[in-house]
Amino acid sequence: MVSRAESAAATRRALLDAAGELLDSGGPDAVTLRAVGARAGVTRGAPYRHFPDKDSLLTTVAAEALDRLADQVRAVCAERASPADTLHRALAALMTIGRCRPHLYRLMFTAPTGDPVAVEAAVRAGERAMDEFLTVVGDLVGAPHVRRFAALLLAGAHGITDLEVNGHLSPDKWHVTTEELVSTLVSVIEVRTRNE
Amino acid sequence: MVSRAESAAATRRALLDAAGELLDSGGPDAVTLRAVGARAGVTRGAPYRHFPDKDSLLTTVAAEALDRLADQVRAVCAERASPADTLHRALAALMTIGRCRPHLYRLMFTAPTGDPVAVEAAVRAGERAMDEFLTVVGDLVGAPHVRRFAALLLAGAHGITDLEVNGHLSPDKWHVTTEELVSTLVSVIEVRTRNE
DNA sequence: TCGTTCAGGTGACAATGTCATCTGAACAGG
DNA sequence: CCTGTTCAGATGACATTGTCACCTGAACGA
């Protein structure tokens, strides 16, 4: 029925899911190899059959999340809405992760650690997500300064999200919502590119 | 010669400095209460005479760093250069921390944890730093949308810094330096405000 | 002078990451 | 069908860490 390879793959998946769920519910401190194992139905030593160490497990969680983000951006891009709309939705995908899964969001944008193989995978996934963003911005901005404005948009949206995630953007102090900030950011750059 | 209160204050200072130095040299994992104590010339239990727990110690380190940042921005502001120059230097103060002391930078912008007293101090220090930024931006932008643009500038600079700190802004991929990004960000907002 | 306070030292404990070792079942080859 | 191998998982053990209870001695106030 279930081959050994299938069972092992299922366990690996369960471990990654368990780590993500623990991260969401209790923050990084709650992600214990023992807890991850328990939630995945195995014991504390089992994860070492699938990941070299804890860091590599978490880095793989981040890599998968970055991959999903890249897929989302690509999907938004495929909808072929107006370039401005597409950009807004792509940035919204990023910020939704920050709002719904703040600890995962932090993990995604933290320098990956652990086994070189896992690190490499995370780096590649991150670059893929950024490349997708690049094509989105490419439809909005002329070729000469795509990279500059794409980096600026990405950094801006990330900064807004990160500040909000960490509670540094209380609306009653700044009189702005994160949505308004992103809108302002995008429009400001649109104005700039039209003026060139 | 040295009163008991003086000695205690000196130890407290030594603990905070030791924590900062360990954070710089070895990252968060290197900040061990035992290591902090050793570097401060005391043993592992001594920190508990000055901080309720480890989180509160680190939160206090962050609070002091935010306070220093606020002082720097205020000092820049007092130089009375051109508003644009002042803004650039204020943002540079922020980004310099990120480049020179990346782990401390991360600590500063992470939601504070630990004892409510320490958390309160960190929140207040963070708000003070932001208020200083607000006055800097106020000299550049008209009153109606100061907060919005101040938040945008701060979030943008923070996003750029955070991405760079975590290695997500390799210049050969994006063809941009962080300085160029900040310049673009500032000029883009200047254009916008002039058009209103 | 004497009792108090309190910074600091010390032993102990539970939790955790990690490893060496063991076990049993799924596999390959005859 | 039998047999040896491989490998996922279990288990025991160890060092490290945060944290606490308890102890000590010296600086203090009266």
**Under a CB-based contact definition with an 8 Å cutoff, are residues B31 and B23 in contact?**
yes
Quote the CA–CA distance of B97 and B106 in Å, as a whole number: 10
Is domain A54-194 in CATH 2.170.150.20, yes or no?
Answer: no
Nearest CA of chain A to the CA of B7: how many Å?
Answer: 34
**pLDDT over 70 (residue A12):** yes
Q: Rounded mean pLDDT of B114-126?
A: 98
Give me the pLDDT at residue A145, please. Answer: 83
Q: What is the pLDDT of residue B145?
A: 83
d(CA A40, CA A32): 12
* Measured distance CA(A162)–CA(A193) in Å, rounded: 26
Distance B117 CA to D19 C1' (A): 19
Q: Is the pLDDT higher at A184 or at B193? A: A184
> For residue B124, what pLDDT is reported?
98
Query: In angstroms, what CA-CA distances link B24 with B17, B61, B162?
Result: 11, 12, 16
CA distance A195 to A140: 14
HEC sequence for A58-87: HHHHHHHHHHHHHHHHHHHHHCCCCHHHHH
Kindly compute the dihedral angle of the four CA atoms of residues A19, A23, A25, A28, in this order, to the nearest 10 degrees: 130
Give the residue ranges of DSSP H helices in A101-170.
102-108, 116-138, 146-165
| Whether the predicted pLDDT of A195 surpasses 90 | no
Task: Say which residue, A36 or A194, is predicted with more confidence.
Answer: A36
Confidence of residue A134 (pLDDT cuts 50, 70, 90): very high
3-state SS, one letter per residue, for B43-112: CCCHHHHCCCCHHHHHHHHHHHHHHHHHHHHHHHHHCCCCHHHHHHHHHHHHHHHHHHCHHHHHHHCCCC
Sign of CA dihedral B85, B86, B91, B96: positive
pLDDT at B87 over 60: yes
Least confident of A186-190, B75-79, B124-128, B131-135: A186-190
Distance CA A69, CA A130 (A): 10
Question: What mean pLDDT value characterizes chain A?
Answer: 94
Interval B129-156 mean pLDDT: 91
Note the pLDDT of residue A8: 78
**Residue B195: what pLDDT?**
61
How much is the pLDDT for B7?
80
Number of neighbours of residue A135 by Cβ within 10 angstroms: 15
Mean pLDDT for A168-175 is: 93
Query: For residue A189, is pLDDT > 90?
Result: no
Average pLDDT, integer, range A97-126: 98
Which CATH code fits B53-194? Answer: 1.10.357.10
Closest-CA residue in chain A for B182? Answer: A152
Domain locations in chain A as residue ranges: 1-50, 54-194
- Nearest-neighbour CA in chain B from A108: distance (Å): 10
Q: Which whole number is the average pLDDT over A122-149?
A: 91
The per-residue pLDDT for range A69-101, each reduced to its tens digit, is: 999 999 999 998 898 899 999 999 999 999 999
Q: What is the mean pLDDT of residues A53-63?
A: 98
Q: Which pLDDT score, from 0 to 100, does residue A194 have?
A: 67
Q: Which CATH number fits domain B1-50: 3.40.50.170, 1.25.40.80, 1.10.10.60, 3.90.220.20?
A: 1.10.10.60
Query: In strand D, which positions have an atom below 7 A from any protein CB?
Result: 7-13, 16-22, 27-28
What is the tally of helices (H) and strands (E) in chain A?
A: 9, 0
Cα A181 to Cα B154: distance, rounded to the nearest angstrom:
11
Partner-chain contact B148 A111, CB within 8 Å: no
Cβ neighbours of A180 in B, within 8 Å: 148
- pLDDT of B5 strictly over 90: no
